[in-house]
Structure 1
C-alpha cells in the first residue's frame, strides 16, 4: 500500500476528533487563531493544494464558491467566484505592474470614485492630474502649477501653462508652452516655448518651438512653425505658417491698422514685415523683405521676396514678382512671372516666366508661359498663351491670345508693331513691324512681318501673308497663301486659299475663289464660287459653285473674264467663256466657251456650252440650247427645239422650232393683240427683185377654208418627243392644263399643207406658208400674207366685172 495514502488516512482519522472537539484547528501550532477554522504554521514548509491542468479545472462539476486549485497551465492559483473561475493576482484582484489580462472595462479602472482630483508626482514634483471639478488635465513637471480658478485647460509638458491662474479652455503641449499665461483663454499652444510670453491674449492657435514667443495680449492669431510670429506682441488676427513666418511682425507698429490682418504660409514668409498689413504670403520666403507694403498676396518660393513698400500686388508661383520693390497693383501667377518688375504697376502675368523681363511697363496682361517674356517698358498689352508677344519690349496696346501669338512683335523696333491683336496659337507669329492687324485662329497671319491693317479669323487664315495690307480673312485657311495681295476679303474655309498677289477680291463661302492666285477685283460668294479661277479678273459669282470652273485652261487675255453668275451652280462649267451673265440656280450651268450670254432663271440656258449672244429669262428658258447663237427666250420653259439661231420665244412654254423665227405664247394662247396692227418693214428703197407674178383668183379659188379645233395635247406631246433637243430637265406645263378652253375653241383658217400644195401647183413661191426646216418643226401660216393674193384676186375679179359690164351694156344697146 502507498505510504502517502496511509499517512493521509491516519492524519484524517486523527483530525476527526479535533474537529469534533474544537471550533478551530492548528497544525504546527498549539494556539491556532481564533478567527481561523484551520491555522497551519511552519517556517520551513507550505500548504500544497490540488494541482491540475486548465482543462481539468474547468471540468470540475458544480464547483462551489471559494473552491481553490493550482492551474499548471497558467502556473497560478484560481478560485471559483459566483459563476466563473478567477485567477489569484489577476485583473480581478488589482493592476499588475507587468500587465493585466481579463479586464472588464465596465467595472475595471484606475482613478478615484469620489469627487477628488487624480494627481501624479515624479521626484516629488507635481507632475500631472485630472480634476473632475473644473476639467483640468495636466501632464508634466509643474504644469498648470498655479492654476486657481481656470477651467477646461489641458497642459502637457514641463512648466506648461505654469503661470495660469484664471485662464480657461487653453490647450498647451510642449515645455514652457504658454508659460506666462495668466488669464488668457481659448489658446492652443504646441511646441517648446510656444506662446511663452502670452499673458491675457486669447483665441490664439500656435504650433512650433518659439512660435508667437513674444505675444502678450494679441488675440485670434494662428502661428504654425518654429519661431513663426516670433516678435508679435499685441497684433490680432494674424496667420503665420512656416518657420519664422511673420517673424518681425508688429515691430515698431503704432497705428491701429499696422501689422494686422497678415497671413503668411511658408518658411520665412513675410519674415521682415513690421507694419505692413493685410498681406497674404504662401511659400518659402514669400514677401520676405516686405516691411510696410500692404494688401499684397504672394504664393510661391521667393514670390514678391524683394517687395518693400509695394501695395496691392498678387504673386503666385516660385519667383513671381521676385524683384518688385515699390510697384503696386501687379498680379503675377506662375514661376518667374513678372520676375524683374521693380516699379511697374497694374500688370497681370499668369504663367511661368510671363513678363519675366518687365521692369517699369504698366497696364499689361500676360497669361501663359513666356508670355510677354521680354517686355520691358511696353504698356497696355494683352498676351494670353505660351510665348505670346515673347519678343515685344516696348510696343504698346497689343493683344495676343494663343501660344506664340505675336511672338516676334517689335523685333527690329521702329515706329510700328503697335495696335495688333492676335488670338490663336502662333497668330501673327512673325510680325515685326506690322501695325493695326487683327488675327484670330491658329497660325492666322503667321508669316506677316510688316503688313498693316489685316484681319484674319480662322485656322491658318492669311497664314503666309508677309507684306499684304488691308486684307480680311475669316475661316480656316482663308487667304492662306496670300503674300503681298491687298484689299482682299475672304470669308469661309479655304476662301481665296491660293491667292498670292491678287488684290481687291471678295470671297465668301467655303473654298470660294480657292485657286485664285493673281486675279483681282473678283467677287465670289457661296461655297466653291469661282473655285478654279486663277488669274482672271473682274468676275462676279454669287451662289454655291457659281463659275466653279471659270478660267480652267484659259490662255487668251479675254477668256474667262467679265462673267457674272448669281445662283447656285450658275455658270458652273464655264472655262473660257467670257462676258456671260447668269442669274438663277444652274443658269448657264454647262457653258464652257460660250460668250456674251445672258440667263436669268432656274436652269436658264442650262445646256448651253458654246452658244453665244443668247438671252434667256425664266425658269428653264432656252434650257436645251447648246450651240445655237443669238436666241432669245422669255418665259417659263420658253425655248427652242434643237440648236438653232436667231430664234425668239416669248411666253411660258413658248417654243420656236427653227432659226430666224419668233414665237409668242404657247399653244394654249387663244388671243394675241394690241391697239394697232403689226407693222412689217416695206420700204421700196430696200426691196430688190420686184416681180408682178402674184396669182390671184387661181390661187384663192383653190384654197379650202375650214373650221377646226387644235389638238393641244398632241402638239405638246410632239414637242415632248424632241425633249432631247430641248433638254432633259424641261418639264413644261401642257397648255390644256393652263387653259382648258384652248382645246375646244373652234377656229377658222386653212391647212398649211394644202396651201403649200396649191402654191406649188401654181408655181407660186408663197411667203404665207411657214415650211418646217427640220423634221421636228411644225407647219405654220402667215395669214397677213394672204392679203396680197386676195388683193390680186379682187383686181382680177374687178377686171372681169368691168369686162362683163361692157358686154352687158352692148347687149342692152342692141
Structure 2
C-alpha cells in the first residue's frame, strides 16, 4: 500500500511541476493537518485537502482512522478498488501480494504468503470479524529453482467464529473438497452430489471406512444393456448380462445341461440363501444348513453340523458334529456336540447335552443336559431333562423319565413309574416300578412263554458265602396253596399312580383287562409267603417286597423249587429210616416163623417169575428192565437199577444156556447197556442181573 501511495504522490508532484515552475501560495486555502494536499482547480492554485489521510503510520482513503498501511472506506456502491491497465503488451491488470522475509534471504516452507479476507464489524466499529478467506502458503523453502505453494479457501459456519478450510488447491494442481491433502485431480471427502438441471440429484457416498480403491473407467461407452464389472483390482469394464436363454429365471429354466449348469459359487465362498432377509440356508465346508433361520447363530468354530428345517440348530454357536432334521430340531443347542435329532421338535431344548440320538416327533424334546440317550418314536423320552444313558423305542416310550439314567423301554408307552436307574420295561404299556427291575408286558397280558425255559446264572465259580441254611418241610408246610383271580385293572392303576393323568388314558389304549382278570391262577399270596419265611428264619429272594409306593409285592416262583428239593430230601430220609425199620421187623417176623426161605409170587410183565423174599432182601430194590427194542436187528438197550455198595454183573447166555459174555457194573444207581448186534447170530438169548452172586432177575431177548 505504501508503494501505491508513493505512486500517487509522484504523479501529483509531476503534475504540479509540469503546470507551473513556481509554487504560489494562497492563505485562503483550507488544507488541514495530515491530509495529503492537492491544488484547487482554476487559477487560484489554492492548496486543499485530498481524499488521502496520513497519520504518520497508516494512510486512509475515506477515513481519518486508518487501521493498516492503506485503509480504504466507502459509503456507497462505488466503494471499490479498480485496477486497470491498457492492454497493449499482452498483459492484463494484476494485484501482487508480496511477502518478504526480514531474517533470511528466502521464505520457509509452510509460511503464509498472502491472504484475502472478507471481514465485517459487530458491536461497533471496534469489533471486526473475519468471515470467508482465501489464503496462500508455501509448500517448500523458496529458492531460485522453486517456489511451490498451495491455495486454501475458508468459510465460517453459522454460530461459529472459526474459519474452516473447505477447498484446497495443492502445489500439484490437485483439488480437494473438504480434504486438505487431495490425492487425485479432484478429491472429495464425503458425498458427491450431481444436481439435475430442473430437479433432483444423484449422489455418491463412500463407506465410512472406505477400502481406498480407485476405479478405472472403460475407455469408451458400452452398448445397450451392458453393465460395469470389476476385475477385483478396480479396473472396470463393460459386461453383457446373461440373457433369459442362459440365465436362471424365477419362473423356471429349460435347456440346462447336467453337470454344466448349476446354482452356486466358483470360488471358496459359502453359498447362502435368505428369506425375508433372514438366513435360510448356508452350504460351506463341513457345515450345511437349509431352512428358515436354520443355523442362525452358528459360528465359524461350530463345524460338521447339518441343520435342515425351520430353525433347526437355530441357537448353535460352537457345538459340532450335530445333525438336526425337522422343524425346531435341536433348536436350542448351543455347545452340545455329536447329537442327532430327526423329526419335528426332536431334541429341541438340548443345550449342552451330547451323544444323544432322537428320531420321531418331539423325541427327547425337553432334554437339556442329558447325554448318551437314544429315543425312537413319537414322544419317546419326551420329558427327559438330565437323565443319561437311557434307551426308549416306541411311541411315548419312557415318556415320564426326567432325571433317571440307564433305563431301557421297548413298546408303546412302555415306561417307568418314577425316576429310577437300570430299569427295563418291554411291551405295550409295560411299566417298571423300581430300579434294577425288568418288567415284560402290561397287566392285561394273559400269557408269557417261549420254546425253552428261563435260564439263571448258577456258576459256582462266582458264588460266595454258600451255606445250606435252606428251610425244607418246615417252610413248605407253612405255605397255603390257593387258586385266585387278579384284578388287573386295579393293579395297573396301582403301578401307574405316579404318572401324569394326561398320559394314563393314552397308555391304556388297546388294553382289555377282562381276559387277564378272568384267569384262575394257582399259587400263593406273597405276604403269606413272606410271613412263613420269617417264622422259619428263612432268608431268600423268593418274595420281592416293594421298593416304593407304586411297587407291588411279587413272588419268584422258580426259586420255590429250592426249599421243595430240601423238603423231598428230608422226606426221603424219613422214608429210608422207615424202610430200615420195616426190614428189621421182617427179619424178626421170619425168625418167629422159623422159615428163612418163605417165598412170594410176583407177576412181572407177561412173564411169570418167582422172586424169593430173601433175594429181595439181598437186592434191596435192585431191578432189571426188559431190553428195548425187542426183537432187534441192529442194537438194543438194557436198563437196570443197582443199589448202593452192591457188586453187580449182567451175564448173557445163548439159547442153549451157554455163557457168552459178562459185563461188570461199576457204578450204582440207574444205568444202561447198549448192545450191538453186529457179532450176534439171529436167535434167542437171555441175560441175568447178578448181585453178590445172587441172580436177581433174568430176561429174554430175540435177535432177528
Q: Under a length normalisation based on structure 2, what TM-score does the superposition of the two structures give? A: 0.47
Structure whose CA Rg is larger = 2
Q: Relative CO higher for 1 or 2, CA cutoff 8 Å, sep ≥ 6?
A: 2
Q: Under a length normalisation based on structure 1, what TM-score does the superposition of the two structures give? A: 0.41
The structure with the largest strand share of the pair is: 2
